[in-house]
Amino acid sequence: MAIELTTKDCDALDDAELEEFAAVSDLQGAAFSAGFLSKQREEWVLSSLAREGDSLLGGMMFTLERIGGTPCILINLIVTQPKDRERELLAALMHEAYSRALLAFPDEDVLVGVKLISPNGYEIFNGLSDVVPRPGHRPTGEERAWSRRLAKRFGLDHGLDDRSSLAVSEGEQYGYVAYRLQEPIETPYQEVFECCAPEEGQALIVFGWVMAEQLADGSVPVPV
């Protein structure tokens, strides 16, 4: 059965949908409660829900906005139901974000920013340019500035290390990409996570660039 995606304003999510969203997050061990998601509903703009029949497989809360004039896809959180089609689900969610970005920012390169607690989430950046942080790369001054901008936008700028993009929560729950958290896999991005302790409220602020021509011709590689 095909994945069916519905995108609407976050404030149009009803309480039943938030309960479903929370139940899927529990399967990943993310524990995004309905109360927490209700608060996020007020703070973020767009939501995408992915279903197979009547079953919710996952979803995303995100926004398209400009930071200092630069067009951005800012993903507050993603949850995916652990199963064989998890990569297909993530690909569908990202395709929706890219389609929306093409309409909002035609002919422009777009920054994609997320919060990760696992290297598996780097699959979001498949095919993107200048991903930060990445193994063996020392961020430039402008890249460190982007880490600060995004951490501030995500509300995680307390104690930020802009050299490693490590952000620290002040005890408040925060959203992140809850994708394949139950699957330890070998990836070169494990190196950049050596500094990160999610159990202590830490996450990495990760960003990369999708080129205007990729958006225009639909050539952005996705995790499938």
Q: Read off the pLDDT band of 222 (50, 70, 90).
A: confident
What value does the mean pLDDT take over residues 108-135?
96
What value does the mean pLDDT take over residues 186-199?
90
Q: Is the pLDDT of residue 24 over 70?
A: yes
What value does the mean pLDDT take over residues 90-117?
96
Q: Is the pLDDT of residue 6 over 60?
A: yes
**pLDDT, position 171:** 79
Which two three-digit tokens encode residue 2?
């095909």
**pLDDT, position 224:** 56
Q: What is the Cβ-side half-sphere exposure of residue 156, based on CA atoms within 13 angstroms?
A: 26
Which two three-digit tokens encode residue 6?
């519905």
Q: pTM for this one?
A: 0.95
What value does the mean pLDDT take over residues 41-59?
95
Using alpha carbons only, give the angle 70, 71, 77 rounded to the nearest 5 degrees.
Answer: 120
Residue with tokens 């993009």: 165
Question: Which residues are bridge partners to 52 per DSSP?
Answer: 55
Cα gap 126→160, rounded to integer Å:
25
Q: Read off the pLDDT band of 84 (50, 70, 90).
A: confident
What value does the mean pLDDT take over residues 44-70?
96
Q: Read off the pLDDT band of 172 (50, 70, 90).
A: confident
Report strand pairing: 129-132 vs 4-9: unpaired
Give helix then strand counts, H and E, for the chain: 5, 9
DSSP 124-173: GGTT-EEEES-TT----HHHHHHHHHHHHHHT--TT-BTTTTEEE-SS--
Cα gap 93→95, rounded to integer Å:
5
CA dihedral 79, 84, 90, 96 (to 10 degrees): -110
